[in-house]
Structure 1
Amino acid sequence: MFVAQKKSRQFSPEFRETAAREVVEKSRPVADVARDCGVTDQTIRNWVKQFRHTNSAADTGLSLPERARMKELERLVRELEEENRFLGKSVAFFAKKHR
């Protein structure tokens, strides 16, 4: 029986760090970053774990409650940005339909 070997791709450390920063610092969903980078979700999770280990959150000077609050606010901002994009598209759709 023939089994095809999957050739693993190599990514530069800069590429990995950039992808991990998208998740950690910009609070983007892992699935979105993985899709943009053309890799699996698990690959991005591994890169994020390595990034967090290398760049410890203790370096930010924020306490645990402050970091939790920051994460919650980033999530809220992300949701509001998505709503704004949706509303902008809706307005454009109805403006075009109204003409």
Structure 2
Amino acid sequence: GWALSKVWGVFSGEFKEEAVRQVTELGRPVSQVARELALRPEQIRDWKQKLVARGAVTAPVRVETAEEEVRRLRRELAVLRQEHEFLGKAAAFFARGPARGTP
């Protein structure tokens, strides 16, 4: 049964698929599923990768919410503004020409 499998570290294909489905189809966190099943999160991630590659389960398609998109775009904008400011300062520095006393 399950207890014996757990002791020996050998899990049935059905057990692995169910653990992975908890993550992929129900959207539960890997860490939570692993804790409930007394597994290491890496085991579930490894099983998921193998099952998705075989087509036994499908990887969830993550849809970004409008709020998440706004946060992401604001972060990108902040980075772009910093880069723009830096490039403006660099252009001004190099536009001054060589410093006096340099060959």
TM-score normalised to the size of structure 2? 0.48
Q: Which has the larger radius of gyration?
A: 2
Between Structure 1 and Structure 2, the one with more helix by share is 1
TM-score normalised to the size of structure 1? 0.49
Greater RCO, 1 or 2 (C-alpha within 8 Å, sep 6+): 1
